[in-house]
Amino acid sequence: MKFVTFQHGSFIRLGVLERGAFYDLTSLDGVVRSLTSTVLSSRAMQTLAACSPVTFRDMLSFLRVWGALGPSLLELTREMMDALQQDRIPAEFQGAPLQFSEREIKLLSPLPRPSSLRDGYAFRQHVETMRRNRGMEMVPEFDHFPVFYFGNHQSVVGPGDFYVQPWHLDQLDYELEAAIVIGREGMNISADQADSYIFGFVIMNDMSARALQREEMKLSLGPAKGKDFGTVLGPAIVTPDELADRTQATPQGNRYQLAMKAEVNGAVLSQGNLDSMNWTFAQIIERASYGVMLYPGDVIGSGTVGTGCLAELNSSKITDNLWLRPGDRVRLEIDRLGVLENTIMLRGEA
Q: Does domain 2-107 have CATH number 3.10.450?
A: no
Peptide bond into 71 cis (omega under 30): no
Write out the chain's pLDDT in tens, 350 residues: 999 999 999 999 999 999 999 999 999 999 999 987 788 999 999 999 999 989 999 999 999 999 999 999 999 999 999 999 999 999 988 888 999 999 999 999 999 999 999 999 999 999 999 888 888 888 889 999 999 999 999 999 999 999 999 999 999 999 999 999 999 999 999 999 999 999 999 999 999 999 999 899 888 888 999 999 999 999 999 999 999 999 999 999 999 999 999 999 999 999 999 999 999 999 999 999 999 999 999 999 999 999 999 999 999 999 999 999 999 999 999 999 999 999 999 997 64
| Under 8 Å between Cβ of 302 and 205 | no
CA–CA separation, 211 vs 41, rounded Å?
57
The DSSP-derived string for 285-332 is HHHHTTTS-B-TTEEEE--PPTT-BHHHHHHTTSSSS--B-TT-EEEE
Q: Does domain 116-346 have CATH number 3.40.640.10?
A: no
What pTM, to 2 d.p., does this model score? Answer: 0.96
Domain residue extents for the chain:
2-107, 116-346
Residue 34 CA from chain centroid, whole number: 33
Helix (H, G, I), strand (E, B) or coil at 149: strand
